[in-house]
Amino acid sequence: MDRYHYERKLWKQGYTRIMGLDEVGRGCLSGPVVAAGVIIKPGSHLNEKVADSKSIGLNDREFLAEEIKKTALFWSVHECPPRIIDEINILKASIRAMLNCTEADGANPDYLLVDGNRFTSSVVPYSCIIKGDDKSVSIAAASILAKVHRDRLMKKLHKEYPFFGWDRNVGYPTKTHFDGLNKHGYTKHHRKSFKLRTEKKFDGL
């Protein structure tokens, strides 16, 4: 697969700061939704292993994330916490996190490649690409940074709340997660607008 197709086409049109955008954690019961934006230098090539983060093993993701940060022209990662997700809904929260990446100091993108089929009004021209994390190298790079960041965060939170299996499920709905919710209740890190199958609050909330 030619993951540079979109970037090459836009480089030829004169765009020099094309930002790939992706988010992770939309389907989770807990934790923030995390977005990342990556701009690669026109004409450059990233590691050939850069692809959809879900298709890459843990060790490779960790290695590639550090390599992307070192070689990208610009990168940014932003979180949208559970309280905002509950307030405005997960789609709007995901888009807000991506917009924050585009507005970060030093970003100055001149074109956006967005994973999926939904975005919002933007002064910067953009294209939505379904399954873009496997079709665009910039989006793929963003997916890796977002997933590595979020997984690290959830594994860190697991040490404080070991009942939900966040070291393995990183907040996604699993039997272990639901068992923990049933026994201990939800925490401040849970999305109360999601179906948690419990009305109980965690004692330490």
DSSP 201: B
Alpha helices in 13-132 (DSSP H): 58-71, 82-88, 90-102
Residue 190's nearest CA partner among 168, 164, 162 is: 164
Q: In this predicted model, what pLDDT tens digit does every residue of 78-99 receive, in sequence order? A: 999 999 999 999 999 999 999 9
Which residues on adjacent β-strands are paired with residue 39? 19, 74
Number of domains in the chain: 1
Q: Give the Cα separation of 60 and 12 in Å (integer).
A: 31
Q: In this predicted model, what pLDDT tens digit does every residue of 131-173 receive, in sequence order? A: 999 999 999 999 999 999 999 999 999 999 999 999 999 999 9
Residue 93 within any structural domain of the chain: yes
Q: For the stretch 8-43, what's the b/e string if a residue is b when 16 or more beta carbons lie within 10 angstroms of its beta carbon? A: eebbeeeeebbbbbbbbbeebbbbbbbbbbbbbebe
Residue 29 within any structural domain of the chain: yes
Q: In this predicted model, what pLDDT tens digit does every residue of 180-205 receive, in sequence order? A: 999 999 999 999 999 999 999 997 65
Residue 182 within any structural domain of the chain: no
Average pLDDT over residues 8-16: 97
Residue 135 within any structural domain of the chain: yes
CATH number of 95's domain = 3.30.420.10
The pLDDT value given to residue 1: 77
Average pLDDT over residues 14-43: 97
Reply yes or no on whether the pLDDT at 119 is more than 60.
yes
Q: Is the dihedral of CA 88, 93, 99, 104 positive or negative?
A: positive
Reply yes or no on whether the pLDDT at 16 is more than 60.
yes
Residue 205 within any structural domain of the chain: no
Can you read off the two tokens belonging to residue 123? Answer: 């002064």
DSSP 78: E
Task: Name every residue whose Cβ is closer than 8 Å to that of residue 119 and which is 6 or more positions away in sequence.
Answer: 95, 98, 112, 126, 128
Range of the domain at 123: 5-158
Tell me the DSSP string of 142-161: HHHHHHHHHHHHHHHHHHH-
The pLDDT value given to residue 204: 66
Average pLDDT over residues 24-45: 96
Helix (H) or strand (E) holding 22: strand 18-24
